[in-house]
Structure 1
Amino acid sequence: MYSWLIKPLNEYNRMREMNRLPHAILLCAPEGIGSAALAAEFARSFLCLRGGGEDCNCHSCSMIRNSGHPDLTVIERGKAQSIGVDAMRTGINTLVGTPTNGHGRVMLINQANLMTVQASNALLKTLEEPAPNTLIILTTDNIRSILPTIISRSMRVQVTLPAISEFSDFLRSRTSSDRDFIPELYVSGMSPLKVLDWVENGYDEHLRSCLELFVSVMRGQGEIRKLATELESLYKEDPVMLYGLMYSLISDVMAYQNGISPENLKVLKDREALDSLAAIHPDSLSEAARKVIMLKGAGVGPTGIKNSLITGLQLLNWLELLRGY
């Protein structure tokens, strides 16, 4: 279990040992820090035949780890855009009846914020009249998309982000690298598992080269059109990298305009580049940040990136004006 998940896991285990588990748990955690693994551990512990120890090899725990458990139902969106009512009703039906090992049943709903209204209402009826000896676990990185009535009928478990140094230490240990991974972590939105995936695919090197090219352009030593091409390529590898990089750069410039020193910024620490970008009007930067968030939420595809993102953020226009192209 990841070090930053130990605290909520211990809290869950204390409730289980005191026989105070609720019928539903709403696990709230930022994306990319392992909430699915934590939820799966909740489920394994609940179904364990020997007290829930993490290293248990009882028949129930062995089934969960190796081939799946007949008393554990996992609902996910898969390739769909949402979790529909049919999938929810199928899951709810598995909670009815006698469990195979007489120890209870669990339904785990990953990314519960993606449930449709119909699926949410179906779940709500079950939460109002839960079957005995059952546990429903929901995970979400956006609690605002969960019906308030579902929230009120679930016990909320919040996973808080640790210091960035803990994520950095984790990544160094997993990659055998002496890099601090601070820029990658900020760009990923503090998602160490996302950064680990980038490293395994070599995307982190491309991210850093894009950042270096951006600084070079702002120092009058790089080609703006090449930068736009590289940003588009970055998007095709993983859209999170482009959105995260642009938002981090904009945030750093705004912070610099407000007197924050370069060494305390997220990803852009070159003073000459910052001085050039600081000439952009704050209102324009705020609008750019808003557009990044909007486009990320809309999931703009690669075919529309040049017009909807690069041009939409006015990146080329800004840099051309600032550098005299």
Structure 2
Amino acid sequence: MLYPWLQESFHTFATACGQGRLPGSVILAGHSDLGTLDLALECARFYLCEHKEQGVACGTCRSCKSFVAGAHADFIVVRPTLKDEADAGLDVLTNPLPLLQEAANIEDNGAQRRSVRIDSIRKLIEWLNLSHVGGQGKVAIVHEAHTMPVGAANSILKSFEEPPPHTLIILTAKSLESLLPTIISRAFKLKVTVPTLTQAQEFLQPYGFADSKIAIALALSQQAPLGALRLLQQGVIDKTQEILTLLPPALNGGSDVAVVEKLAALGPALEVTILGELTRELLKYKAGLSVTQLPLLNPQSAAALCRLPAEHLFTALSDLQHFALQAPFIPPRAPLALLRAWIRALANAPRTR
């Protein structure tokens, strides 16, 4: 079953497919933590289904059964990899289940950045030029296509604009703007929308986490339910609550050793996410928003931190963005010093009354 917030996008795809309005290329734009890969897989299953029923795949035909088993001869997923992963043949998959499991457990890997490699695209093009085995055609998903370097993007361009007959290429990407305009121009485009807060909460509540933790997880994940669930299950929210307890004293003249160490242990991406969200919530609080609407703050921490001047908070946000951009190139021990400098710069700002 698709997640509730993906149903509308899938319905749009299925309707276009049923009416013969679907070109040979589709872009699903949205953060991966919204379930764009799940949506792409459901679109692929529907396209390949031999007996589509009322806008859904039948689930019982030979195509549907082989798809669910991860053994469909006319389906592949091209995924972002590191070089050694690609060399091991992990860049092109016929069974997407390991990729879904990996997405549920992925952690910040620091300087390592996976990308859809040009050699992987060459494998895709070779596969596209083969005849399909079944009667419905072929489907290839390029997951996180925004990670393609220019060479890979140029390599896929001709196939994406004019796929072979009875072939569908689905790209998932974090946004339309992250792809080359020439790739976007001829595709059927779907923007995956962020679920409502109620939808996101209802998805997470059956997992048994406290509402306060769910609220923090959704704030840190930009209301992307799958990202929030990962943060909860990996214990990141528990650690975040510890950091939020330690930070106000550190910003008011206390020791910053413990908070810096706990932040650094989470890795650069989460450091920036937590500090950035806290800073934004402080700015919202200073602008008059109630603390009950700000998950990372409570009345005590808001009172302790609200005297930090807004201009210094804006500067702190800018510094964090720079830190995020430079994170892959920073030496291993440097983040401790940078975090300490960031905290002390904010702590030494003149207080407002």
TM class by smaller structure:
0.7 to 0.9
Distance of aligned partners of 1:240 and 1:191 in 2 relative to their CA distance in 1, 3 Å threshold: farther
Partner letter of residue 15 of structure 1? A
2:295 counterpart of 1:294: no
2:32 and 2:265 map into 1 onto residues whose CA distance is: 24
Superposition deviation, residue 204 in structure 1: 2.0
Residue 277 of structure 1 is matched in structure 2 by 305
133-142 or 72-81, larger mean C-alpha shift: 72-81
Q: 1:230 aligns with which of 262, 265, 269?
A: 262
Residue 129 of structure 1 is matched in structure 2 by 162
39-48 or 178-187, larger mean C-alpha shift: 178-187
Residue 205 of structure 2 is matched in structure 1 by 172
Distance of aligned partners of 1:176 and 1:262 in 2 relative to their CA distance in 1, 3 Å threshold: closer
1:225 and 1:321 map into 2 onto residues whose CA distance is: 19
Distance of aligned partners of 1:59 and 1:108 in 2 relative to their CA distance in 1, 3 Å threshold: same
Written as runs of structure 1 = structure 2, the 5 A alignment for 1:94-173 is 94-173=127-206
Q: How many residue pairs were aligned?
A: 315
Residue 275 of structure 2 is matched in structure 1 by 246
2:38 counterpart of 1:37: yes
2:271 and 2:243 map into 1 onto residues whose CA distance is: 10
Superposition deviation, residue 8 in structure 1: 0.4
Task: Mark the runs of 5 or more structure 1 residues left unpaired by the alignment.
Answer: none
Partner letter of residue 83 of structure 1? V
Residue 101 of structure 2 is matched in structure 1 by none
Residue 195 of structure 1 is matched in structure 2 by 228
Partner letter of residue 27 of structure 2? L
Distance of aligned partners of 1:233 and 1:85 in 2 relative to their CA distance in 1, 3 Å threshold: closer
Q: Does the 8 Å contact 2:30/2:172 carry over to 1?
A: yes
2:288 counterpart of 1:259: yes
1:59 and 1:99 map into 2 onto residues whose CA distance is: 15
Superposition deviation, residue 17 in structure 1: 1.8
Can you list the C-alpha shifts for 1:252-272, whole angstroms capped at 9, x where unaligned?
1222232333223342232x5
Q: Does the 8 Å contact 2:194/2:224 carry over to 1?
A: no
Distance of aligned partners of 1:85 and 1:218 in 2 relative to their CA distance in 1, 3 Å threshold: closer
Percent of pairs with identical residues: 26
Distance of aligned partners of 1:14 and 1:207 in 2 relative to their CA distance in 1, 3 Å threshold: same
Partner letter of residue 224 of structure 1? D
Can you list the C-alpha shifts for 1:146-190, whole angstroms capped at 9, x where unaligned?
1001111111101111211211111112x1334251111111222
TM-score by length of 1: 0.88
TM-score by length of 2: 0.81
49-58 or 68-77, larger mean C-alpha shift: 49-58
Task: Mark the runs of 5 or more structure 2 residues left unpaired by the alignment.
Answer: 84-113
Distance of aligned partners of 1:321 and 1:284 in 2 relative to their CA distance in 1, 3 Å threshold: closer
Q: Does the 8 Å contact 1:195/1:204 carry over to 2?
A: no
2:184 counterpart of 1:184: no
SS at match of 1:108: strand
1:74 and 1:256 map into 2 onto residues whose CA distance is: 45
Higher relative CO (Cα under 8 Å, sequence separation at least 6) belongs to 2
Distance of aligned partners of 1:257 and 1:216 in 2 relative to their CA distance in 1, 3 Å threshold: same
